[in-house]
């Protein structure tokens, strides 16, 4: 006789589908409730999402990683004095602090020519995302940008997407790319969003940007994300615009370039 006690969890016949998604499906039942393991996993994910919002960005480590990848770096901070103000006052996160604005303006005077692109690595709503994914993504992208004049990578704290407009304007950049931690989900506390704006200046609207979202190994991997951003950068430079006027047709090129046994190459 089998001495093992019978399980109190009623298995879901759709359990096999769980291998295809991180969504919470086919968790089973324990009576009229969730199994303990599923409940504890949910509470852990909820705690990770909360932590992602409040965890400060380790700027020193990020500067070190970016410099090791070949980027010059600068610091910037929004007008939000702390995390509490940042969360309650989104407008402050879109505006550069006075000291940062002055420092960026001074640095712009040292540049021999206007950068084709400036990258802003921002904490946003998940410092985890910026810390984990920004550097490997940029390392995947950089070989695609041969011949581009790449400006300094700006590490921005208490930042919203629009903070990149002021940074790009002060550095006289032709385009700005903001890599920012997205709002955490219960299965993705470290999702990185990428926002491209041509001719950045204060007052640009979200309709004037292109967005690539959920960049992370479990979502959109670094190589295809870099392929897509390079495509958009090339088109933006050609058309002198971004946003609703710039259609992202990179998917068809990505499928064509990712042949069996091959590698993804820039368009």
- Known binding residue 118? Answer is no
The H or E element that residue 120 is part of is strand 118-122
- Please indicate if the annotation marks 161 as binding a ligand: yes
Q: Which residues pair with 210 in a beta bridge?
A: 196
CA atoms within 13 A on the CB side of 152: 20
How far, CA to CA in Å, does 140 sit from each of 80, 210, 225?
A: 32, 19, 9
Ramachandran category for residue 165: left, alpha or beta (phi over 0 → left; psi -120 to 50 → alpha): alpha
**Structure tokens, 81:** 């004095």
Contact present, 234 and 197 (Cβ < 8 Å)? no
Q: Is 211 annotated as a binding residue?
A: yes
For the annotated binding site, the residues are 161, 182, 211
For the annotated binding site for adenosylcob(III)alamin, the residues are 161, 182, 211
């Amino acid at each position: 006789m089998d001495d093992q006690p019978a399980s109190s969890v009623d298995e879901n016949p759709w359990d096999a589908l769980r291998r295809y998604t991180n969504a919470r499906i086919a968790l089973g039942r324990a009576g009229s409730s969730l199994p303990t393991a599923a409940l504890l996993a949910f509470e852990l994910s909820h705690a990770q999402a909360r932590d992602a919002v409040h965890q400060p960005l380790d700027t020193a480590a990020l500067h070190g990683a970016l410099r090791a990848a070949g980027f010059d770096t600068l610091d910037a901070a929004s007008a939000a004095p702390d995390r509490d103000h940042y969360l309650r006052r989104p407008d402050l996160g879109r505006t550069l602090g006075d000291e940062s604005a002055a420092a960026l303006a001074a640095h712009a005077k040292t540049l021999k020519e206007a950068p084709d692109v400036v990258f802003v690595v921002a904490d946003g709503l998940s410092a985890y995302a910026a810390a984990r994914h920004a550097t490997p993504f940029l390392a995947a992208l950089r070989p695609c940008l041969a011949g581009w004049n790449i400006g300094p990578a700006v590490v921005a704290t208490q930042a919203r997407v629009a903070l990149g407009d002021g940074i790009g304007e002060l550095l006289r950049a032709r385009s700005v790319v903001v890599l920012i931690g997205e709002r955490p989900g219960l299965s993705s506390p470290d999702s990185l969003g990428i926002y491209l704006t041509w001719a950045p200046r204060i007052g640009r609207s979200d309709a004037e940007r292109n967005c690539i979202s959920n960049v992370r190994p479990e979502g959109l991997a670094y190589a295809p994300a870099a392929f897509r951003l390079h495509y958009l950068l090339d088109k933006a430079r050609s058309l002198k615009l971004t946003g609703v006027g710039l259609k992202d047709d990179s998917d068809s090129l990505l499928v064509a370039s990712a042949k069996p046994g091959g590698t993804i190459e820039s368009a």
